[in-house]
Amino acid sequence: MPDVYWLEQTEEDVPLEDDWLSASEAACLGGMRFAKRRADWRLGRWTAKRALAVCLSVTGDPEFLARIEIRAAASGAPQVFWNNQPTAFNISLSHRAGMAMCALAGSNVLLGCDLEVVEARSDSFLSDYFTRKEREWIAQAAPVARSYLLTLLWSAKESALKALHVGLRLDTREVVVAVAKPFMREKSGAQWSPLQVRYKDEDLLEGWWQRSNNFIRTIVAVPAPWPPLLLEIPATAIAV
Ligand SMILES: CC(C)(COP(=O)(O)OP(=O)(O)OC[C@H]1O[C@@H](n2cnc3c(N)ncnc32)[C@H](O)[C@@H]1OP(=O)(O)O)[C@@H](O)C(=O)NCCC(=O)NCCS
């Protein structure tokens, strides 16, 4: 079973300058028209680079961070380069509400992560994106737990779509989520609980979910991973 690592950063963690971006990343940022997209993209890149710096054993100095490059594949999936060379790492990114999450594993691991704010969704959202069984499950949940369950299932689907490198090009009803007793551990914020996602009734993606405050995080991988390990940024590596 592979190890999977994760790190989260907030918008406040991201420096105002762009000297931690590579030249081509800076050019990519320069082509983005919308402020929210720019902010999300910078936050995702920052979070990934901080995580990768730990794994590459370099400091968070802008000079090193600029040599770590996150390029988007044709699918939109992030790919990691160090000094212009592919690395032995796979990452997955998610940004939401001023926070970004990066999951990281070896390049032989299919990996997807997703960060979601717990919120109610419309009936049309449910019928468009969830299977009949998932909708029944959500309807049967206690009213207080309904938004959590819905968000958890949605996040797990998005993680799986990222691990499969397809994103929302795939019908989300083709990835079916199974979670054991999702809300028995209401108070165990930092704990990861197991989940499974089945794709086209065949492939099984396994992973973990965690709830803290109003956020749900999910990580799925193939092969099935150990519970995710939070990366610690060494104090000496603080660049900001
Ligand atoms: C992937 C997707 C499901 C994520 O949706 P989301 O919840 O809105 O956004 P999140 O913040 O959780 O995740 C976004 C990140 O997912 C990653 N991502 C995007 N497409 C991906 C894919 N096909 N596979 C794996 N990861 C992908 C990217 O790193 C992206 O962040 P970045 O663009 O800043 O690098 C959705 O954006 C999607 O389907 N995108 C592809 C749509 C498309 O057809 N794009 C045109 C070609 S690129």
Tell whether the model's pLDDT for residue 240 goes beyond 50: no
Q: How far is the CA of 76 from the centre of ligand 1 (A)?
A: 6
- Mean per-residue pLDDT for 137-161? 93
Give strand pairing partners of 71. 79
> Which residue type, as a one-letter code, is found at position 42?
R
Q: How far is the CA of 112 from the centre of ligand 1 (A)?
A: 10
SS (H, E, C) the chain: CCCCEEEEEEHHHCCCCCCCCCHHHHHHHHCCCCHHHHHHHHHHHHHHHHHHHHHCCCCCCHHHHCCEEEEECCCCCEEEEECCEECCEEEEEEEECCEEEEEEEECCCEEEEEEEECCCCCHHHHHHHCCHHHHHHHHHCCHHHHHHHHHHHHHHHHHHHHHCCCHHHCCHHHEEEEECCCCCCCCCCCCCEEEEEEECCCEEEEEEEEEECCEEEEEEEECCCCCCEECCCCHHHCCC
- Mean per-residue pLDDT for 147-152? 94
Backbone angles phi, psi at 163, to 5 degrees: -60, -35
- Give the residue, 116 or 143, on which the prediction is more confident: 116
Tell the burial category of 197 from Cβ atoms under 10 Å away from its Cβ (0-12, 13-18, 19+).
Answer: buried
Tell the burial category of 39 from Cβ atoms under 10 Å away from its Cβ (0-12, 13-18, 19+).
Answer: middle
- Mean per-residue pLDDT for 218-235? 94
Residue 213: per-residue pLDDT: 81
Tell whether the model's pLDDT for residue 170 goes beyond 90: no
Tell whether the model's pLDDT for residue 181 goes beyond 90: no
Residue 183: per-residue pLDDT: 61
pLDDT in tens, 52-98: 999 999 999 999 999 999 999 999 999 999 999 999 999 999 999 99
- Mean per-residue pLDDT for 25-31? 97
- Report d(CA 134, CA 153) in Å as an integer: 8
Does the Cβ of 163 fall within 6 Å of ligand 1?
no
Does the Cβ of 44 fall within 6 Å of ligand 1?
yes
- Give the residue, 191 or 94, on which the prediction is more confident: 94
Contact predicate 192/182, CB 8 Å: no
Contact predicate 109/90, CB 8 Å: yes
Ligand 1 atom with minimal separation from the 167 CA: 39
Does the Cβ of 37 fall within 6 Å of ligand 1?
no
Does the Cβ of 168 fall within 6 Å of ligand 1?
yes
Query: Quick one: pLDDT band at residue 189, thresholds 50, 70, 90?
Result: low
Share the mean pLDDT of the chain: 92
Ligand 1 atom with minimal separation from the 162 CA: 25
Ligand 1 atom with minimal separation from the 44 CA: 34
- Report d(CA 58, CA 52) in Å as an integer: 9
Tell whether the model's pLDDT for residue 10 goes beyond 50: yes
Residue 234: per-residue pLDDT: 84
Residue 100: per-residue pLDDT: 98
- Give the residue, 141 or 168, on which the prediction is more confident: 141
Tell whether the model's pLDDT for residue 22 goes beyond 60: yes
- Report d(CA 118, CA 132) in Å as an integer: 21
Q: How far is the CA of 71 from the centre of ligand 1 (A)?
A: 13
Tokens of 201: 């009734």
Does the Cβ of 41 fall within 6 Å of ligand 1?
yes
